[in-house]
């Protein structure tokens, strides 16, 4: 265990009845580092961070936050952690200011300090002019910002964000991502779970890919992409028997990976420029109608596909 890490977790395991939700997950986060836990819905992301945040008893494994062991009863470890749940965990009958004041006091701040910190956070999340309004009068984006603001109140060493952009409009989503970038830049360690590949690529210094409760790969974006190997990614937007066409292509030696998705075929090939004419000929011969072609370097989506044989959003 590295004493400098803000978060260290090892061998986390949790079952619900016969279902093993998390099985042997372990990772660490250094100060100022943003770590992304990327995986499809039901992969075990929320269960993992529930154990990290001390919300859920674990069957096995260890968690240390800022050097303090974390359990469901750890008061000191929880004081070093800011938790932003996926649901809007704020009180609708209280105002934005009352919500922040309540949680600031709950985190042990004296009244004067809680008041000044509440004002700071209200400014940070852009709700200063609506601070006195009841939360039930806020828009979805405002509630989402307040939800994050509560997690920042006590200036935690580790901020845990559980899919904070689910159900958020593009403008608010961008504001949230910018906010996380600022916090990370200011030295806060961030654990960020998402099933949006673009968010993980943009925010995270390192990414852990989780599937069926297991951490199947971990590293920087480039390290993960290199797992797919040197090559190009081709996306054919098409209609017809896409699965049949993907199977035909997968049999070619210069095709490393071929997968039919919803309305497209995703391929990883050695050299897109050389192989593209042959690919189009092959696909057209199967009766598939190609509407557009997109060539790119492999991304995390391709990595997940490579590792699991499934798309992130399957």
Partner 1 sequence: MRAAWLICTKDLKARLRDRSALLIGIVVPLALAFIFNVIFSGVSGSSGVISLGVVDADHGAASQAFTQQVLPAVKSSGLITIHTEASPGQARKLAAKGTLDAVIIIPADFSARVQAGQPASMQVIGNVDAAISAEVARSITEAYAAELNRVRLSVATVVAGGGAADTQALAAQAAATATPAAVSDVSAQTKELDTKSFFAAGMAVFFLFFTVQFGVTSLLEERSEGTLARLLAAPISRASILGGKLLVSFLLGVISMAVLVVATSLLFGANWGNPLGVAVLIVAAIASAMGIMSLLATLAKNAEQAANWQSVVSVVLGLLGGTFFPVSQAPGVLSTLTFVAPQAWFLRGLGDLRGGSLGVVWVPALAMLGFAVVAGGVALFRLRRLAEI
Binding site for partner 1 (CB under 8 A): 50, 53-56, 72-73, 75-76, 78-79, 81, 83, 85-91, 93-94, 98, 102-103, 105-108, 134, 150
Query: Could you tell me the smallest distance in angstroms from the CB atom of residue 96 to partner 1?
Result: 14
Query: Could you tell me the smallest distance in angstroms from the CB atom of residue 118 to partner 1?
Result: 14
Query: Could you tell me the smallest distance in angstroms from the CB atom of residue 178 to partner 1?
Result: 23
Query: Could you tell me the smallest distance in angstroms from the CB atom of residue 127 to partner 1?
Result: 18
The DSSP bridge partners found for residue 83 are 160
Query: Could you tell me the smallest distance in angstroms from the CB atom of residue 79 to partner 1?
Result: 4
Q: How far is CA 86 from CA 31, 193, 204, in A?
A: 23, 10, 18
């Amino acid at each position: 265990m590295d004493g400098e890490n803000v978060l260290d977790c090892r061998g986390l395991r949790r079952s619900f009845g016969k279902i093993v939700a998390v099985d042997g997950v372990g990772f660490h986060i250094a100060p100022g580092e943003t770590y992304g836990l990327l995986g499809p819905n039901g992969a075990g992301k929320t269960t993992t961070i529930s154990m990290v945040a001390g919300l859920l008893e674990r069957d096995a494994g260890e968690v240390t936050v800022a050097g303090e062991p974390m359990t469901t009863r750890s008061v000191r470890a929880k004081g070093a952690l800011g938790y932003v749940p996926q649901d809007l965990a704020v009180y609708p009958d209280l105002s934005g200011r009352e919500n922040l004041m309540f949680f600031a006091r709950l985190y042990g701040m004296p009244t004067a300090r809680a008041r000044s910190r509440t004002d700071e956070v209200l400014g940070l999340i852009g709700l200063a002019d609506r601070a006195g309004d009841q939360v039930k009068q806020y828009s979805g984006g405002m509630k989402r910002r307040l939800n994050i603001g509560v997690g920042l109140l006590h200036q935690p060493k580790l901020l845990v964000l559980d899919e904070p952009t689910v159900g958020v409009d593009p403008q608010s989503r961008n504001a949230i991502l910018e906010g996380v970038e600022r916090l990370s830049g200011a030295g806060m360690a961030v654990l960020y779970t998402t099933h949006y590949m673009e968010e993980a690529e943009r925010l995270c210094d390192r990414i852990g890919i989780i599937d069926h409760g297991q951490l199947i790969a971990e590293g920087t974006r480039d390290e993960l992409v290199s797992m797919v190997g040197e090559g190009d990614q081709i996306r054919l937007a098409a209609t017809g028997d896409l699965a049949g066409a993907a199977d035909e292509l997968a049999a070619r030696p210069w095709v490393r990976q071929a997968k039919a998705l919803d309305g497209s075929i995703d391929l990883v090939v050695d050299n897109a420029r050389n192989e593209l004419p042959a690919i189009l000929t092959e696909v057209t011969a199967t009766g598939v109608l190609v509407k557009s072609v997109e060539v790119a370097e492999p991304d995390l989506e391709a990595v997940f596909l490579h590792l699991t044989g499934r798309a992130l959003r399957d």
